[in-house]
């Protein structure tokens, strides 16, 4: 989805359950630090945490942990639940989704036991957003419905409007844009009736998101500018940053690149101050797209690297697994609580039997756990050995391939090439002896000699490509340029840019990268139908970064069959052999960009 989905924020739910405090942070700290009653101290602590929320996430976490220790010291479970939610919100925006989920589940568990529905509904909404972010849409909708039922029972119009706004994103992810738009408009009407201008601004942003998908860019811009005006009046710097991001996306799609760069740059400046990595990641992705459309592929690649670094930390697979494990624990905890309540009604004589059963269960779990750990350790050892064998096999195949290339190249050069040269010499000698009957016979004979001469050059070129002497004598950059210069296809214009390759690399690294470039050029000629190919290889202290981009017909990167072909599979296999990474960015009709990185010994 586009970055418009970022505008469905935790901020809405915070407005439903908590009012932003206008108290000075110094005065709040004075209340906490003095020997005041506990109730005064904890209330000031919670207000202090809220004052940093969506302004400084690090401060929110720091002050939240301090307040949490105070609440636990006095066994104040309600305050613990409220602070856990605040810490969860800050963790969410810092991209620590597993930590956020853990805090939300703890808050829910406490509030469900206390049956405090007024505070419980916003936490359900927060958890729903987290599942929406990790694309578990069914579970997200389940938690939205829980929150909505509570708000309807409480007759909370603002809460119902918020849920309509939030749940609309789920239907947008499902590409049910009609239902998403209906929910956004319904939410805006409720917010307008209640005079909630901030909620109106979020509805406007969401409606604009649907318009961008439908390519109605003028309508999208109008709605976003209305939302921006409201947020500027409210001096909501966080929401303003998101609106700039949304405007940047809209302008990029519209083709107004100057505006897009300006809006995205403003958004990134605010996101960096807020330490909001997800917004920065989405902005870098859009800036990369703008640079590609402008033909500035070097700048596009730099933006792509920044975006990749942030996305790796945000969407780690392990975090998603941990969130699912937390949900399982939460569901198990609810069942255990129900069992515990039933057990309270059982007669005293059954306690000993239950206790014995629990002891046996823990003993069985302990034995099972030890067995699983032992089994897992053996499986890991086996997997490591398999990976080692696979690596050795790949190395052997690649060495055999290079040896075979060398043998064929020598056969072509020393065998076929020498024979063709001899044939040309004999024909030339024969020309002086033969008596031509007319000029036409002589022209035919000269054409035969020309064909033999051209065949000699072709054999020599093929043998040099298969066993490049330039790679034996010079560095990788010169070898690649030598290869490009020998291309006989005049329809393909190739631009080569290298940096930091003056010193020689390991022979395996040079050979593998040379073969990858050969394969990409071959694909551009035979399959892509490209007329332009840009090759860039840059070496720094980390390794070698490269991009190979053509303007050909492109292909669908989601089609797994495309990666089962020999060409792309060879590229992936060779990069894996060097412990590197490779990404393919392509779509039918817009060319192909191959971005690779190979780690090497530091300079």
For residue 466, pLDDT beyond 70: no
Q: Is residue 168 part of a domain?
A: no
Four-residue CA torsion sign, 565, 570, 575, 576: positive
Q: Which residue has the tokens 């991001």?
A: 245
pLDDT band at 407 (very low <50, low <70, confident <90, very high): low
Q: Which residue has the tokens 């405007």?
A: 247
**DSSP designation for 34:** S
Token pair belonging to 542? 């980390």
Rounded to 5 degrees, φ, ψ at 20 are -70, 130
Model-level pTM? 0.45
- Answer yes or no: do 457 and 492 share one domain: no
pLDDT band at 525 (very low <50, low <70, confident <90, very high): confident
- Answer yes or no: do 46 and 64 share one domain: yes
User: In degrees, to the nearest 5, what angle opens at C-alpha 254 toward C-alphas 252 and 260?
Assistant: 30
- Answer yes or no: do 453 and 534 share one domain: no
- Answer yes or no: do 482 and 536 share one domain: yes
User: Cα(54)–Cα(57) distance, rounded to whole angstroms?
Assistant: 6
Q: Is residue 486 part of a domain?
A: yes
pLDDT at position 21 is 40
Q: Lowest-pLDDT range, 284-288, 365-369, 432-436, 584-588?
A: 432-436
Count CB atoms within 10 A of the CB of residue 19.
10
User: What mean pLDDT comes out for the span 326-344?
Assistant: 66
Q: Is residue 52 part of a domain?
A: yes
pLDDT band at 471 (very low <50, low <70, confident <90, very high): low
Q: 73-88 pLDDT, tens per residue?
A: 889 989 999 999 989 9
- Answer yes or no: do 481 and 595 share one domain: yes
- Answer yes or no: do 407 and 479 share one domain: no
pLDDT at position 602 is 56
Residues 6+ apart with CB under 8 A from 206: 4, 7, 8, 165, 168, 169, 172, 180, 184
User: What mean pLDDT comes out for the span 234-245?
Assistant: 86
Chosen domain end from 422, 439, 467: 467
Query: Which residues are paired to 584 by β-bridges?
Result: 594
Q: Is residue 533 part of a domain?
A: yes
Q: Is residue 417 part of a domain?
A: yes
For residue 339, pLDDT beyond 70: no
Q: Are 249 and 3 in contact (CB under 8 A)?
A: yes
For residue 7, pLDDT beyond 50: no
Strand-by-strand arrangement of the 493-499 sheet: 493-499, 532-539, 543-550, 592-599, 581-586
- Answer yes or no: do 307 and 392 share one domain: no
Q: Is residue 538 part of a domain?
A: yes
- Answer yes or no: do 454 and 477 share one domain: no
> Which CATH number characterizes residue 18's domain?
1.25.40.10
pLDDT band at 142 (very low <50, low <70, confident <90, very high): very high
pLDDT band at 124 (very low <50, low <70, confident <90, very high): very high
The percentage of the chain sitting over the pLDDT mark of 70, rounded to a whole number, equals 77
Q: Are 494 and 535 in contact (CB under 8 A)?
A: yes
pLDDT band at 90 (very low <50, low <70, confident <90, very high): confident
Q: 548-577 pLDDT, tens per residue?
A: 998 888 888 888 777 776 678 878 888 887
pLDDT at position 506 is 77
- Answer yes or no: do 474 and 594 share one domain: yes
- Answer yes or no: do 460 and 488 share one domain: no
Residues 6+ apart with CB under 8 A from 189: none
Chosen domain end from 432, 448, 467: 467
pLDDT at position 573 is 82
More confidently predicted of 435 and 229: 229
For residue 324, pLDDT beyond 50: yes
Q: Is residue 369 part of a domain?
A: no
pLDDT at position 6 is 39
The number of folded domains in the chain is 4
For residue 143, pLDDT beyond 90: yes
Token pair belonging to 12? 């809405």
pLDDT at position 467 is 56
Domain that holds residue 282: 236-312
- What end-to-end distance do the CA atoms of the chain give, in Å? 41
- Answer yes or no: do 414 and 532 share one domain: no
pLDDT band at 105 (very low <50, low <70, confident <90, very high): very high
Nearest residue to 287 (alpha-carbon basis) of 271, 274, 55: 271
Count CB atoms within 10 A of the CB of residue 1.
13
> Which CATH number characterizes residue 549's domain?
3.30.565.10
- Answer yes or no: do 39 and 102 share one domain: yes
Q: Is residue 149 part of a domain?
A: no
User: Cα(574)–Cα(597) distance, rounded to whole angstroms?
Assistant: 12
pLDDT at position 59 is 86
Chosen domain end from 467, 487, 505: 467
For residue 17, pLDDT beyond 50: no
More confidently predicted of 421 and 25: 25
């Amino acid at each position: 989805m586009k970055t418009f989905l970022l505008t469905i924020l935790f901020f809405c739910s915070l407005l439903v359950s908590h009012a932003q405090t206008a108290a000075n942070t110094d005065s709040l700290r004075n209340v906490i630090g003095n020997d005041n009653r506990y109730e005064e101290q904890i209330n000031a602590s919670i207000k202090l945490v809220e004052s940093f929320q969506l302004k400084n996430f690090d401060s929110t976490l720091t002050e939240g942990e301090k307040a949490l220790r105070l609440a636990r010291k006095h066994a104040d479970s309600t305050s613990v639940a409220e602070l856990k939610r605040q810490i969860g919100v800050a963790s969410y925006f810092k991209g620590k989704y597993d930590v956020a989920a853990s805090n939300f589940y703890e808050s829910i568990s406490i509030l469900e036991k206390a049956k405090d529905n007024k505070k419980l509904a916003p936490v359900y909404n927060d958890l729903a957003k987290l599942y929406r972010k990790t694309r578990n849409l069914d579970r997200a909708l389940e938690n939205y419905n829980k929150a909505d039922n509570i708000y309807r029972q409480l007759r909370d119009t603002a809460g119902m409007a918020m849920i309509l706004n939030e749940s609309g994103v789920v239907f947008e992810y499902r590409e049910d844009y009609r239902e998403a738009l209906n929910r956004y408009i319904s939410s805006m009407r409720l917010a307008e009736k209640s005079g909630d201008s901030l909620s109106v601004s979020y509805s406007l942003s969401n409606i604009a998101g649907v318009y961008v998908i439908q390519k109605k860019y003028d309508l999208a811009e109008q709605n976003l500018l209305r939302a921006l005006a409201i947020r500027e009046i409210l001096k909501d710097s966080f929401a303003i940053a998101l609106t700039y991001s949304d405007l940047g996306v809209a302008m990029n799609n519209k083709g107004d690149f100057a505006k897009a760069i300006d809006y995205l740059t403003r958004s990134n400046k605010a996101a960096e101050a807020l330490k909001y990595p997800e917004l920065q990641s989405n902005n870098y992705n859009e800036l990369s797209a703008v640079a590609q459309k402008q033909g500035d592929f070097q700048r596009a690649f730099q933006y792509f690297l920044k975006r990749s670094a942030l996305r790796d930390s945000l969407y780690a697979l392990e975090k998603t697994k941990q969130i699912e494990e937390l949900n399982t624990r939460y569901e198990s905890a609810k069942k255990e609580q129900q069992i515990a309540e039933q057990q309270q009604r059982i007669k005293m004589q059954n306690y000993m039997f239950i206790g014995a059963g629990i002891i046996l269960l823990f003993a069985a779990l302990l034995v099972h756990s030890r067995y699983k750990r032992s089994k897992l350790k053996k499986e890991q050892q086996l997997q490591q050995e398999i990976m080692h064998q696979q690596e050795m096999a790949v190395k052997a195949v690649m060495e055999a391939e290079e040896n075979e290339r060398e043998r064929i190249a020598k056969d072509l050069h020393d065998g076929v090439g020498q024979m063709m040269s001899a044939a040309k010499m004999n024909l030339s000698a024969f020309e002086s002896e033969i008596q031509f009957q007319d000029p036409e016979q002589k022209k035919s004979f000269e054409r035969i000699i020309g064909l033999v001469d051209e065949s000699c050059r072709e054999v020599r070129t093929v043998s040099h490509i298969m066993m490049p002497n330039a790679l034996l004598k010079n560095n990788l950059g010169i070898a690649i340029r030598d290869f490009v210069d020998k291309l006989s296809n005049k329809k393909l214009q190739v631009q080569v840019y290298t940096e930091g390759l003056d010193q020689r690399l390991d022979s395996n690294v040079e050979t593998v990268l040379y073969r990858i470039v050969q394969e990409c050029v071959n694909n551009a000629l035979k399959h892509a139908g490209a007329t332009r190919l840009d090759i860039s290889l840059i070496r720094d202290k980390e390794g070698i970064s490269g991009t190979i981009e053509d303007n050909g017909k492109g292909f669908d990167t989601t089609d797994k069959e495309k990666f089962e072909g020999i060409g792309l599979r060879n590229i992936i296999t060779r990069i894996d052999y060097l412990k590197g990474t490779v990404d393919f960015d392509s779509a039918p009709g817009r060319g192909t960009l191959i971005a690779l990185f190979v780690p090497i010994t530091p300079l």
